[in-house]
Amino acid sequence: MPQNISIVENILNANDRLAEENFARIEAAGVFSINIIASPGAGKTSLIEKTLPLLKGKLRVAAVDGDIATSIDTDRAAAAGAAAAVQINTGGDCHLDAVMLRGALDQLDLTQFDLLIVENVGNLVCPANFKLGTHKTVLVASVPEGDDKPYKYPGTYRGVDALVVNKIDLLPYVDFRMEYFTQGVQVLNPNVTTFPLSCRTGEGLEAWVEWLIEHSKK
Amino acid sequence: MPQNISIVENILNANDRLAEENFARIEAAGVFSINIIASPGAGKTSLIEKTLPLLKGKLRVAAVDGDIATSIDTDRAAAAGAAAAVQINTGGDCHLDAVMLRGALDQLDLTQFDLLIVENVGNLVCPANFKLGTHKTVLVASVPEGDDKPYKYPGTYRGVDALVVNKIDLLPYVDFRMEYFTQGVQVLNPNVTTFPLSCRTGEGLEAWVEWLIEHSKK
């Protein structure tokens, strides 16, 4: 079906061009931006919720939340202290794309912020194929998902700039071999910055917050 | 872009027709079949691994495992006692479709089995849109994913016939309100058969196994 394939390629190319436009716009406003991807329930929203209070008085943050339905995440981000929170309902789509982010950027005065946090749809596969135009892509893994995830989702693990390993407080209660997990990550993405942490207990959050501050102040 | 939309519709329609063919074929062989969908790490493979020994001497089981890469899951199913295990590598695709299942069925003599277990790709969004032609779709949710998942992935929760709630051994260690979760499920899918269980401790597995045996012996 060469016709279908060429249409898919056109869509991805068009998305990449729009992602470049988004990037130029974010960059021109002097904002540092991240695209957070993860499986459903790994803790994207919890991470944002726990991070925002720690950035209070240090960075002005805008949050963009992608979801198939509901505005639960945006409500949580706003309650946690985001200076602005924009909801994207994808209407069933399994990922954000550059067009959707452009629509969200249209609703923000970017010059008012230091950091833009984009929370993608909960999905470990599809979001990896659609660039949005952010500076960094952050993958949130979580301990109860299991230590084999880098081996099973290599494309996603390969393409990210930072890796949060959430829910380390559950390590005593699940069969998760950190060494096996780390080995898989190392093979795919040797230079990825990794933050083991627990959104529940707060352990390890400082290093993650420092990383955000450091990049936002450049 | 009406041309793209019509192509997407054609793909889905073609998939549905092939799913009907798969169903007729499975049905003619007298096999009961399930399509297991879940987020990455919810415990699809563990569930199959724990279920197979309990079916030993009662049902002859064939397992079909869909994965983006690796054959870890097929190896685990074979080791756990599947009479036959077929791997589908989707080559990056985020879901199984009816064409892929047809390819797997071609490798099986269906008359030799009572139960066909299809393990879909770890993804809570896309597999829900692609019928395979199995009798039932089973969703594996897991406690550490959080109690808001029915609210955030309504399309997936609405479309399933049975719901396994895995990792109940972690209930004391996470913030999971079973009532809130169940309420969400009830609204979307009031008649869904639910199995709270733990693949780690074995608690609750009997009811699930009974359900499989009951349906396979029809």
pLDDT tens digit sequence for B123-138: 999 999 899 999 999 9
Two structure tokens written together for A13: 């190319």
Q: Can you give the pTM of this predicted structure?
A: 0.91
**Looking at the partner chain, which of B124, B144, B149 has a beta carbon nearest the beta carbon of A144?**
B144
Closest CA in chain A for residue B10: A4
Q: What average pLDDT does this structure show over A35-56?
A: 96
pLDDT tens-digit profile of A154-174?
A: 999 999 999 999 999 999 999
Answer whether residue A218 shows pLDDT above 70: no
Does CATH number 3.40.50.300 belong to domain B2-216? yes
Give the list of residues 6+ apart from residue B47 with CB closer than 8 angstroms, or none: B36, B140, B164, B166, B199, B208
Asked if residues A144 and A28 have their Cβ atoms less than 8 Å apart, the reply is no
Spatial distance between the Cα atoms of A59 and B136, rounded to a whole number of angstroms: 50
Cβ pair B72:A4 closer than 8 A: no
Answer whether residue B122 shows pLDDT above 90: yes
State whether ipTM is beyond 0.95.
no
Spatial distance between the Cα atoms of B34 and B42, rounded to a whole number of angstroms: 17
Q: What average pLDDT does this structure show over A39-66?
A: 96
Cβ pair A72:B4 closer than 8 A: no
Residues of B whose CB is below 8 A from A200: 174-175
Give the list of residues 6+ apart from residue B128 with CB closer than 8 angstroms, or none: B37, B155, B156, B159
**Looking at the partner chain, which of A123, A152, A155 has a beta carbon nearest the beta carbon of B70?**
A152
Inter-chain contacts counted by CB atoms under 8 A, chains A and B: 118
Interface of B with A (CB under 8 A): 3-4, 7, 11, 39-41, 67-70, 72, 92, 94, 121-126, 142, 144-146, 148-149, 151-155, 167, 169-170, 173-175, 200
Helix spans in chain A (H): 2-28, 44-55, 72-80, 98-105, 149-152, 154-158, 178-188, 205-216
Q: What pLDDT is recorded for position A91? A: 82
Q: What average pLDDT does this structure show over A93-98?
A: 92
Answer whether residue A82 shows pLDDT above 50: yes
pLDDT tens-digit profile of B145-187?
A: 999 999 999 999 999 999 999 999 999 999 999 999 999 999 9
pLDDT band of B218, cuts 50, 70, 90: low
Spatial distance between the Cα atoms of B185 and A108, rounded to a whole number of angstroms: 35
Q: What pLDDT is recorded for position B1? A: 43
pLDDT band of B8, cuts 50, 70, 90: low
Domain limits, chain A: 2-216
Answer whether residue B121 shows pLDDT above 70: yes
Residues of A whose CB is below 8 A from B201: none
pLDDT band of A205, cuts 50, 70, 90: very high
Answer whether residue A2 shows pLDDT above 80: no
- The pLDDT mean for chain A works out to 93
Answer whether residue A6 shows pLDDT above 80: no
- The pLDDT mean for chain B works out to 93
